[in-house]
Amino acid sequence: MNPIYLDNAATTQVDEKVLKAMLPYFTEKYGNASSQHVMGQEAKRALEDSRSVIAKSIGAKREEIIFTAGGTEANNFCLKGCFFAEGNKGHIITTKIEHDCVLNSCKWLEKQGCEVTYLNVDEEGFVSVDELKGALRPETFLVSIIHGNNEIGTVQDLVKIGEVCKEKGIMFHTDACQSYTKVLINVDKMNLDFVTLNSHKIHGPKGVGALYIRKDSKITPLLHGGGHEFGLRSTTENISGVVGFAKAVQVAGNSDIRYMNKLRAKLIDGLLKIPNVTLNGSKGDERLCNNINVSFNDIEGEAIGGYLDAYGISSSTGSACSSNTLDVSHVLKAIGLSHEQINTSIRLSISKFNTKKEIDYVLEILPKIVEKLRKMTPIKL
């Protein structure tokens, strides 16, 4: 059996079509988009065509898309850039289940004098609109809420949240790295002022992302230089990267979502047949089509992951032992799981490249691993 990659929330395989679209930009069409000559203009055209593809996919205008070196940069840019434009003061509202790049940016901003509220979520990972309303202050300038969660797959209702922000005239940002191409995003319907996107979660290359910035928004650039990206982010553009990013968006289709939904349902059904297994995160349809997160009572997540890896199956876990800091997952903590439940969790995230046969194999192997590890454990919850 070939390796089975079930860690697509971490990153994905580049689609062959994406790679093919990118290759000419390394050795033939390698011009600098700022140059006036033919090769430069060729690069410029590729850059702007790619920008149009990204813009159209979320109902934005071309000039509202700023390419970045990934999701982390786009999130940093939005949070810090808005704070600087605000005059280094004010209040941000975010959640307890954001990606580390949002949480750690917020923690840094707190040291610079920014006030930050971290909203709670319910046991399925949903933000409460009422709690959001209660947290608003006169000095609140930005609400930043993750769209699809990377650990538990919960998808927030951005339309409802956007309405609250619009009513109060507060800028609204979402980190859509995980949901992009999987859940429809429309910047006008959702009243979004900023959207973080990235490429490597959608079968595009790593090191490319984008920040949607609604026209005339107040944001200060982080990278000053030659005035690239409408003066908002200087550095010679990564043409091959953005071409690949755009191609990845173009090849993503609704049939992929339907396919992943089916595979995921099969995998979840099979997993829940193993005794004492619980699904973490959203239980209904408001869940990313590629995300599965389960806890296996009495056995440790990293050990399950280590076993799966020995069988060629890649997974990920929220257990303390697997993290560099020995902290349990902040997301699983926020949905109210105990340390025991968090330490027994694993995440399996699929992609369009996984097959039914692979899922069958996982469902054949995993119960055996669980049984073996349960024979080893001194714990019985």
Ligand X SMILES: Cc1ncc(COP(=O)(O)O)c(C=O)c1O
Region from 139-147, 177-185, 279-287, 301-309 binding another protein, contact rule CB under 8 A = 301-309
Q: Does 7 bind another protein (CB under 8 A)?
A: no
Q: Which does 99 bind (CB under 5 to 8 A by kind): Zn ion, ligand X, another protein, none?
A: ligand X
Q: Does 238 bind ligand X (CB under 6 A)?
A: no
Contact 235, 225 (CB under 8 A): yes
**Closest listed residue to residue 147, CA positions, set 166, 162, 164:** 162
Q: Which of 101, 106, 177, 321 is catalytic?
A: 321
Region from 148-156, 174-182, 256-264, 323-331 binding another protein, contact rule CB under 8 A = 323-331
Q: How is 217-251 classified by DSSP, letter by letter?
A: -----S--SS-TGGGTS-S---HHHHHHHHHHHHH
Place of tokens 């194999």: 361
Residues 6+ apart with CB under 8 A from 291: 9, 148, 149, 152, 153, 178, 264, 281, 347, 349
Nearer to ligand X, 241 or 301 (CB): 241
Minimum distance, C-beta of residue 298 to another protein, in the bound complex (Å): 7
Q: How is 255-287 classified by DSSP, letter by letter?
A: HHHHHHHHHHHHHHHHHHTSTTEEE-S--SS-B
Known catalytic membership, residue 101: no
Residues 6+ apart with CB under 8 A from 2: 312
Region from 56-64, 162-170, 172-180, 315-323 binding Zn ion, contact rule CB under 5 A = 315-323
Contact 211, 182 (CB under 8 A): no
Nearer to another protein, 222 or 320 (CB): 320
Select the residue interacting with ligand X from 209, 221, 241, 305 (CB under 6 A).
209
How many residues sit in the footprint of Zn ion (CB under 5 A)?
Answer: 1
x/- mask, another protein, residues 326-355, rule CB under 8 A, reads x-x----------xx--x------------
Nearer to Zn ion, 12 or 317 (CB): 317
Minimum distance, C-beta of residue 377 to another protein, in the bound complex (Å): 4
Query: How many Å separate Cα 82 from the centre of its chain?
Result: 21
Helix (H) or strand (E) holding 134: helix 129-135
Burial category of 104 from C-beta neighbours within 10 Å (exposed 0-12, middle 13-18, buried 19 and up): middle
Select the residue interacting with ligand X from 8, 198, 280, 295 (CB under 6 A).
198
Contacts of another protein in 16-45 (CB under 8 A)? none
Amino acid identity, position 64: E
64: DSSP letter? G
Region from 11-19, 112-120, 149-157, 304-312 binding another protein, contact rule CB under 8 A = 304-312
Q: How is 151-188 classified by DSSP, letter by letter?
A: TT-BB--HHHHHHHHHHHT-EEEEE-TTTTTTS---TT
Q: Which does 299 bind (CB under 5 to 8 A by kind): another protein, Zn ion, ligand X, none?
A: another protein
Query: Mind telling me the catalytic residues?
Result: 321
Q: Which residues bind another protein (CB under 8 A)?
A: 298-300, 302-303, 305-307, 309-310, 319-322, 324, 326, 328, 339-340, 343, 375-379
Q: Which residues bind ligand X (CB under 6 A)?
A: 70-72, 75, 99, 101, 146, 150, 175, 177-178, 198, 200, 209
